[in-house]
């Protein structure tokens, strides 16, 4: 993938602080969250719209994925419906809770392009913007 991503909240990437991915609910625990720099609606955009927090470039780092990274791209509900899921209390609401432990066996990252299919917002409630969660720290190539 040629995309470049930005992670807000840390000035640099420390592989020793990377937490392995764990299933939780709609979003997993662990991994590393970021947004594509060229996202139509990324984390910084969401924070500005919701007046959630300031996203400062001096408290962020930019990275790419190594060329061998295997990225699962979710850009429509049809793709989402083919993925392994877990049962949680949220599935009765119609939300999809992915089995990230299974997904991590095949993929290094999961990228959601919410701006391509707004139905994804309701299925993956809490994934509020175009974003990526890195499942395998070894595919991160820090740029700045």
**Does pLDDT of 2 surpass 70?**
no
Task: Kindly report the average pLDDT of the chain as a whole number.
Answer: 93
Q: pLDDT tens digits, residue range 43-62?
A: 999 999 999 888 988 999 99
Supply angle C-alpha 47, 117, 87, rounded to 5. Answer: 85
pLDDT of the residue at 139? 98
* Closest by CA position to 143, among listed 15, 9, 13, 10: 13
| CA atoms lying within 13 Å on the CB side of residue 106 | 9
């Amino acid at each position: 993938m040629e995309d470049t991503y930005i992670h807000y909240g840390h000035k640099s990437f420390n592989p020793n602080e990377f937490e392995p991915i764990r299933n939780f609910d709609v979003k997993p625990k662990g991994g590393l969250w970021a947004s594509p720099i060229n996202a139509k609606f990324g984390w910084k955009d969401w924070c500005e719209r919701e007046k959630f927090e300031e996203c400062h470039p001096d408290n962020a780092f930019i990275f790419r994925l190594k060329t061998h990274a295997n990225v699962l791209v979710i850009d429509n509900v049809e793709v989402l419906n083919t993925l392994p899921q877990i049962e949680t209390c949220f599935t009765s609401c119609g939300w999809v809770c992915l089995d990230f432990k299974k997904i991590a066996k095949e993929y290094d990252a999961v990228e959601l392009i919410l701006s391509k299919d707004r139905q994804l917002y309701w299925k993956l409630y809490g994934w509020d913007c175009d974003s990526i969660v890195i499942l395998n720290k070894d595919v991160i190539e820090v740029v700045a």
